[in-house]
Amino acid sequence: MMMPAKTDVPKYAQIEHERRFLVERCPDLSRHDYRTIEDLYVSGSRLRARAITFSDGRPPAFKFCKKYPSDSTTSQPIVNIYLTAGEYELLSHLPGNRVRKRRYRLDIEGTPCSIDVFEGVLSGLILSEVEANSAEALAALKPPPWSRLEVTRDAFFSGANLAAVGAAELQAKLSSPRR
């Protein structure tokens, strides 16, 4: 897996190593806490404003994020800035596309993963993500047992693209023969 050269990584960025999978058989999530994530993908940029509310009653969290281009679809530089509610409110008025999902955190044989259950026009879409501390560790991870297909390299399933997709386009993609 190619990663960006060290000189290509912005000074304060971290490398995020992750893989995404379509979920075929969703595990029972009824006893798991979750966070509701509302993302605004800012038009004409790689920026994302995120509001997070927690099912366990913790105070909400707000972030402003940028993912940088990389030769790798699994390892990308990312920068997060944590915001106050007021700062998020200002940024939430920027033009862009929105997506809303519930994120559940689970553990698979010691490896943390998440399951994202999308809402609104993306209802019916369930993705799972696994993360690791290195590209090598990520490549060694087995897909979650509920996986249908790995979609890490399919740009259709990137957050920014999903935020711009309509229900009919999503259903067509999910029902295509190779899915």
pLDDT at 107: 86
Q: In this structure, what DSSP letter does residue 135 have?
A: H
pTM above 0.85, yes or no: yes
Q: Do 18 and 131 touch, CB atoms closer than 8 A?
A: yes
pLDDT tens readout for residues 119-159 = 999 999 999 999 888 889 888 888 888 888 999 999 999 99
Domain boundaries, the chain: 13-175
Q: DSSP label at 142?
A: P
pLDDT for 4 equals: 47
pLDDT at residue 31 tops 70: yes
| CATH assignment of 13-175, among 3.30.70.20, 3.40.50.300, 2.40.320.10, 3.30.360.10 | 2.40.320.10
